[in-house]
Chain A
């Protein structure tokens, strides 16, 4: 009996077993549903970003028109003077976005736990309340989202269990096993070929689903490497479970025993180990209540601004040595206003130091989780898939870092131009936009 014969026999066995066929169809439906869900989130986020960009451009245009009309700003808010760097930068309406990757179609990951657009101002911080997640039902967030990654990580092993649980043990229970040897093929090759048939079947199913997903968002045109990596990790994952289940059915003596062992391993890897690790991390490093950040944005800031002007000026001089001999520094009539407007730079430094503590805390948690990968494979694969779809914690950390750099750049430009007495005209207003918008 050749391997091809075994494949053909297995195909007959599979196609005549309605339970197995229904299980495969159910998996395909769930995975396709998950792909559509991921694509829907991708399109929603893209549309939201487009709307905000349009609104920001319209708002900016309104302020540009003040220059054409020879006005300094809106008449009902006389304190706004667009000819100063402070207001000109403020009303440039600068946003930074985390554009979704087309590979979000495969894994939503942590995309729903964070904001993906942020108005960048002198007073902003990557931990502002507007950086929080989109409005969503918390019970849905808790239940989890049925995306392709969910189908792959949690339903695929169950499908494999249903397809493989009675291989060999059914023949063993019915006393057919010796007949296999008579067919001039070793039991191992026979069993391996049968398992290989299902692995091949599922590989084709996964590849087809990935291709289908790639047509729902521009994966092939914008993120072709993501497709390849997703296929690679999906295959590794399929192999991982296939190897475990192969050894269970090879050593198993009964259908019931096989089903029990396979379900047991699945429960341990899917529920118990990740749950235990999650609990352990939460005890070791409880949720941060952000008191450092609260102190920095409130009490420390209050203390900072209550200091004598000379102290504030000295701090500003230390931060921006360029302003020490600037034209405004030499003009006592303008110095106080410039100092007030530059105070956000000092507040920014306070916030940055408190953010450092929070992020170090978060990184410790991530390190703890990573250190468990060797016995917590589901978390490993889950985070790999999130990384491919750019919906991993690290991608949002990178986004927050970019926001912080933009805040720093904006503050620096505002402070230097303010102290150098730059008079903003339409050209300079547009120049800010070109230079400060990422």
Chain B
């Protein structure tokens, strides 16, 4: 069989059309990796400058009331991800800026997509655009007449007469086309690695390998199916039109239909419903800014009892800080409930969408590509959770300073010094480790593997009795 594969490659390499397509494709891949990298680097620079600017402002607070500082707050910017130069995922639609402040869990705002008019429905010229949409089509065009052309020329018959098994011929054709896809995929990954050599870690390597595996499986599915059609149908046009139809349905039609449908099956609340429900739940807790609040009074009695004093003025601490933290902790429960519900709905939507991979392996590929590049919604949610966890520690630190920093209840003019504000740690994003989120992409990989087996079975069983002329 290897001899046949070698032969096939010699034919492929001699084809002027293929040489042209390969050259154009390589050029586009090179440009996409280069530009992707350039954009990631420029984003990283911009991110570092903005982060430094905001931190400098925080550290330059000379003296401020800690609760005033909680309202002053800070901002977190979404850092760029090294692998996003391969697949940008949801980055351009999720926003870039998140305000961190007391009393409220904010949402990310100011997405890149909202800062300009429409330009590209399928995203920027990233490697994923070429690897997901263009290269599969090239493989289809390479494979659709691979067997039928041999039938028409009578070469298939002579190969069989020389002792070659039809199934071996079909496999050799499939593997040749698949290898062509793998070569281009490998070149993309290698170019990417070359550009980012100093930053490559074990984590990046494992993610890149999984990214590579997903595409490799998908390319086998497409190559196998196309060669199968080419073997079954005498007319190459039928094979081509059938594969073009499948490509359109898989790539353009079904992802849109399923994505829109899962949003209807597992409905997210409207912003107004979401805010109203949170406001209602929030109003049932302590109002940190209202000393007359009944629940605040209960807490006051409890603290007075704890310290064995009769009035707030006798307390050695500042009760305002304690009330603010109680307000915050109640608020946290409300945010956990409502934002948790949003995350659950989004997770259910994702699971349903992943199941669509049963009939559309492109969906599994897209999920895996974004996921392994760390740019899907799951990674975005992990980022938001880290920011919220930081916000809670940040506000608690300020409220504790307010309560136990040396001021007395009602003394809103008391200010913490610059040393304290400098001691408040900045937000440090910990990239999500692949090991911790891998189970979420298992379904995508399994479905791609199932499709690969299906394509192999088609090739084995479906081409046993092909007509050799």
Main SS class of interface, A: helix
One of B2-10, B126-134, B204-212, B429-437 contacting the partner? B126-134
Tier of interface size on chain B:
35 or more
| Residues 134 to 151 of chain A near chain B (Cβ within 8 Å) | 134-146, 150
Interface residue? A179 (CB, 8 A): no
Chain A residue contacts of B122, Cβ below 8 A: 144, 270-271, 274-275
Which of A144, A158, A271 neighbours the largest number of chain B CB atoms within 10 Å of its CB? A271
Chain A residue contacts of B252, Cβ below 8 A: 154-155, 158
Interface residue? B112 (CB, 8 A): yes
Chain A residue contacts of B376, Cβ below 8 A: 139
Do A113 and B125 have beta carbons less than 8 Å apart? no
Rounded to whole angstroms, the CA-CA distance of A117 and B35 in the bound complex is 37
A-contact bits for B61-103, CB 8 A (1 contact / 0 none): 0000000000011010100000000000110111111010000
Interface contact tally, CB-CB below 8 A: 246
One of A215-223, A283-291, A323-331, A341-349 contacting the partner? A283-291
Do A137 and B263 have beta carbons less than 8 Å apart? yes
Rounded to whole angstroms, the CA-CA distance of A153 and B120 in the bound complex is 11
A-contact bits for B27-70, CB 8 A (1 contact / 0 none): 01001100110110011001100100110010000000000000
Do B263 and A140 have beta carbons less than 8 Å apart? yes
One of A206-214, A255-263, A428-436 contacting the partner? A255-263
Do A139 and B259 have beta carbons less than 8 Å apart? yes
Contact of B113 among A113, A127, A145 (CB under 8 A): A113
Rounded to whole angstroms, the CA-CA distance of A278 and B93 in the bound complex is 14
Chain A residue contacts of B249, Cβ below 8 A: 26
Contact of B112 among A109, A143, A276, A287 (CB under 8 A): A287
Chain A residue contacts of B109, Cβ below 8 A: 129, 131-132
Rounded to whole angstroms, the CA-CA distance of A252 and B463 in the bound complex is 32
Contact of B117 among A115, A145, A154, A393 (CB under 8 A): A393
Rounded to whole angstroms, the CA-CA distance of A418 and B164 in the bound complex is 96
Chain A residue contacts of B42, Cβ below 8 A: 283, 286
Tell me the minimal C-beta distance from B254 to chain A in angstroms: 10
Given contacts A139-B377, A271-B134, contact A33 B115 (CB under 8 A): no
Interface residue? A114 (CB, 8 A): yes
B-contact bits for A344-356, CB 8 A (1 contact / 0 none): 0000000000000
Nearest B residue to A141 by beta-carbon distance?
A: B93
Do B111 and A23 have beta carbons less than 8 Å apart? no
Chain B residue contacts of A278, Cβ below 8 A: 119-120, 123-125
Instruction: Report A's interface with B, CB cutoff 8 A.
Output: 19, 22-23, 26, 30, 33, 37, 44, 48, 51-52, 76-77, 109-110, 113-115, 117, 127, 129-146, 150, 153-155, 158, 161-162, 165-166, 255-256, 259-260, 263, 267, 270-272, 274-283, 286-291, 294-295, 298-299, 302, 361-362, 365-366, 369, 376, 378-379, 382-383, 386, 392-394
Could you list 13 further interchain pairs (A-B, Cβ under 8 angstroms) beyond the known A135-B270, A276-B31?
A76-B290, A76-B292, A113-B93, A129-B106, A132-B95, A139-B90, A139-B370, A155-B252, A158-B248, A272-B125, A289-B50, A290-B110, A369-B117
Nearest 10 A/B pairs, CB to CB: A274-B120, A275-B125, A146-B256, A287-B112, A393-B117, A138-B90, A365-B116, A278-B120, A279-B124, A141-B93
Some 29 contacts from A to B, beta carbons below 8 A apart, are A113-B93, A113-B113, A113-B114, A127-B110, A130-B271, A131-B109, A132-B110, A137-B259, A138-B377, A140-B259, A143-B259, A145-B256, A146-B257, A155-B248, A158-B252, A165-B241, A259-B244, A263-B137, A270-B121, A272-B125, A274-B121, A286-B42, A290-B110, A291-B50, A365-B116, A366-B116, A369-B117, A392-B118, A393-B116
